[in-house]
């Protein structure tokens, strides 16, 4: 069994990776907003969001599904918020 400090060290490492991946995702979201603005497309795409959440649900598997979906709903909300700032 791992001790508490080992677990916390692993969590800190994972958190660092998550932050970097979320930063990358947000930068790409800005690219998406720029494209949508240039092409007169709406920020919200219900079909895309539904498909993305379904994919995440399948990847999450049993046990963590609800928590992971909740996190992705926040990610999507923040992404749309950032895109709306860009599109205006």
pTM: 0.88
Q: Give the whole-angstrom CA distance, residue 68 versus residue 35.
A: 28
Sequence-distant (6+) residues with CB within 8 A of 80 are 43, 44
Provide the token pair at 13.
Answer: 């490492």
Residues of the chain above pLDDT 90, percent:
92
Interval 35-73: pLDDT, tens:
999 999 999 999 999 999 999 999 998 889 999 999 999
Per the structure, the count of domains in the chain is 1
Structural domain boundaries, residue 65: 4-87
């Amino acid at each position: 069994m791992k001790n508490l400090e080992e677990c916390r060290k692993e969590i800190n490492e994972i958190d660092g990776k998550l932050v970097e991946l979320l930063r990358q995702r947000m930068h790409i979201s800005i690219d998406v907003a720029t494209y949508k603005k240039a092409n007169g497309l709406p920020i919200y795409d219900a079909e895309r969001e539904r498909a993305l959440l379904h994919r995440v649900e399948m990847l999450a598997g049993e046990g963590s599904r609800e928590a992971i979906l909740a996190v992705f709903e926040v990610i999507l909300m923040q992404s749309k918020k950032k895109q709306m700032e860009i599109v205006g």
